[in-house]
Structure 1
Amino acid sequence: MAVINRTPDSFHDKGATFALDRAVGSALRAADLGADWVDIGGVPFGRGPAVSTAEEIDRVVPVVEAITAARPDLVVSVDTNRADVAAQAIVAGAAVINDTSGLGDERMAAVIAVSGAHVVITHSVGPPRVEKPPARYDDVVAEVRAFLSDRMARARAAGIPQERLIIDPGHDLDKNTLHSLELTRRLDEIASLDAPLLVAVSNKDFVGESIDRPRGERLPGSLAAMTACILAGARIVRMHDVAEAVDAVRMTEAILGWRAPARLEHNTHPTRNV
């Protein structure tokens, strides 16, 4: 899953794909590099100036329309916690709503239920875009798992079939670095829930703090975190650096026996006596 931010203040790309043509072009390049899925965001999760619902719709809907017209085979999701944005994005062609609030909008589940779209239910605490107190958990993994299980039940009760549910433990979302590392170590406990597991670890602060690297220098650490998550049960990985992530994923799949090597040449020729 490639990340496409149509925002002027995203934590990683700092608005590099805010312009409509750049956002669409970046999504299509990601697909050419091997991404199966692009995730379009119109409002960052972290604190910052308010963005109205109308402005968020104006940011994401034209991108979705352009991508789905150009690459109908590409999965397109929209990263939003607003039901009204989700509804418009689905009409535009989005197949997935990536809800970082975990169905915090009481209308979100109903909107998705009648649409046929999938939903990513992500763990976070309280509304996005606001300052919050320091993160505290007695057992972060147990609490994240309980939250996700409860929100999955809420989604099913609203009419979303189990097969359209995806879960995300929300690395760094209202969590400190120790919490995110603990989630990664014990990710199999989250993966045991009956839904595909998505992880979003790319360039996050828990990576930077773990290896003492600023933003822009976290690719190796991000790939290591991503690989650890795949080994623990993640099946969708949300990454900024598509080419490098695709190579790392394909190598991991080859090691696990899920993907045949692209070619087989080394030590396969008969020995010749000269």
Structure 2
Amino acid sequence: MAVRVMGIVNVTPDSFSDGGAFLEPRAAIAHGYELVAEGADILDVGGESTRPGAAPVTEQVEMRRVLPVIEGLADTGAQLSIDTFKRSVAQAAIERGATIVNDVTALRNEPDIAGLVADRGCELCLMHMLGEPGTMQDAPRYDDVVSDVKAFLEERLAFAVGAGVPEDKVLLDPGIGFGKTVDHNLELLSRLDELVAIGRPLVIGTSRKSFLGRIAGRDVNQRLGGTIATNVLALERGAAIFRVHDVAPVVDALAVATATLAGRWRPTTTT
């Protein structure tokens, strides 16, 4: 299964890592071009923060933020993803060139997104989240986090397919950091192969997240080492798509890890 790197383009004032940095469309578009130059295969454009405690925004505000950016990135050569759980936003983004809908609610907020995706032939990413952004980190509990997340993703996959989305168009995301403690996140990463066994490409989003800071004692913009470590571990366990802020170093790390795991690399010189 081909490895793809998904570069994050947050067009928000309040995302946990880069909120406000790319709120102006020209800045977001320039950032997207930079991420493609660094090796991003996909650009994931979002106009509503889903960090813990984030406040919701209206569909009008979300569209005002993301649609000019989607249009401005249409010629990058990268696949465009719209990070939204609103059907109207997804439809408008698809009309402007997006071919992936990344729904953090896994169709629970607006199930009709499934029909839209099916009609337009787009890919659909379904993510696990316990609760909603405002409450998801309030003492999350599971019987067994991996088994519970796997059962959820299987059920959501079945729902999407039942609504007409071809199974080969569905991506799955265990939702690292979305209603999970540090131990939950580490357990998911350790047993990621159990989720890969569902049979759909697995998306991993650990980039700069707070559990990395809790482990390493690093501030939000000092978590590249932890991000790389978790992505390489996820690659080894079968993940296929890596959603990150820092594209170039992660692309390099995954290239080296892929070559090593595959045993493909051979020296070209003796020096």
TMscore range, shorter length: over 0.9
Match of 2:63 among 38, 53, 57: 57
Q: Equivalent residue for 1:96?
A: 100
Q: Does 1:202 align with 2:202?
A: no
Cα drift, residue 132 of structure 1: 5.8
User: Residue by residue, what CA displacement relative to the aligned partner does 1:55-108 show, whole Å, maximum 9, x if unpaired?
Assistant: 10111111111111x22x211101111111111111111010111111112222
Letter in 1 for 2:88: D
Match of 2:72 among 66, 71, 77: 66
In 2, Cα distance between equivalents of 1:90 and 1:259 = 38
Q: Equivalent residue for 1:252?
A: 257
Q: Does 1:118 align with 2:114?
A: no
Cα drift, residue 23 of structure 1: 0.4
Matches within 5 A, 1:139-154: 139-154=144-159
Cα drift, residue 125 of structure 1: 2.0
1:88/1:15 CA distance change after superposition, 3 Å: same
Contact 2:22–2:28 (8 Å) recurs in 1: yes
Cα drift, residue 131 of structure 1: 6.4
1:109/1:255 CA distance change after superposition, 3 Å: same
Matches within 5 A, 1:217-236: 217-236=222-241
> Across the two proteins, how many residue pairs are aligned to each other?
264
Stretch deviating more after TM superposition (177-186 or 48-57): 48-57
Q: Does 1:133 align with 2:138?
A: yes
Q: Equivalent residue for 1:272?
A: none
User: What residue ranges of structure 2 are gaps of 5+ in the alignment?
Assistant: 1-5
RMSD: 1.5
Letter in 2 for 1:128: P
Q: Equivalent residue for 2:25?
A: 20
Contact 1:48–1:130 (8 Å) recurs in 2: no
Letter in 1 for 2:121: G
The two structures have a TM-score, normalised by structure 1, of 0.92
The two structures have a TM-score, normalised by structure 2, of 0.93
User: Residue by residue, what CA displacement relative to the aligned partner does 1:108-150 show, whole Å, maximum 9, x if unpaired?
Assistant: 2122121111000000123334566310011000000000000
Stretch deviating more after TM superposition (175-184 or 49-58): 49-58
User: What residue ranges of structure 1 are gaps of 5+ in the alignment?
Assistant: 269-274
Cα drift, residue 214 of structure 1: 1.7
Q: Which has the larger radius of gyration?
A: 1
Letter in 1 for 2:73: I
Cα drift, residue 260 of structure 1: 5.1
Q: Which aligned runs of 4 or more in structure 1 are off by greater than 6 angstroms?
A: none
Task: Give the percent of matched residue pairs that are identical in Structure 1 and Structure 2.
Answer: 36
Cα drift, residue 25 of structure 1: 0.4
Q: Equivalent residue for 1:82?
A: 86
Higher relative CO (Cα under 8 Å, sequence separation at least 6) belongs to: 2
Cα drift, residue 267 of structure 1: 1.3
SS at match of 2:73: helix
User: Residue by residue, what CA displacement relative to the aligned partner does 1:130-187 show, whole Å, maximum 9, x if unpaired?
Assistant: 5663100110000000000000000001000011000000001011111000000000
Match of 1:179 among 180, 184, 191: 184
1:13/1:259 CA distance change after superposition, 3 Å: farther
Letter in 2 for 1:59: R
In 2, Cα distance between equivalents of 1:84 and 1:176 = 33
Contact 1:199–1:234 (8 Å) recurs in 2: yes
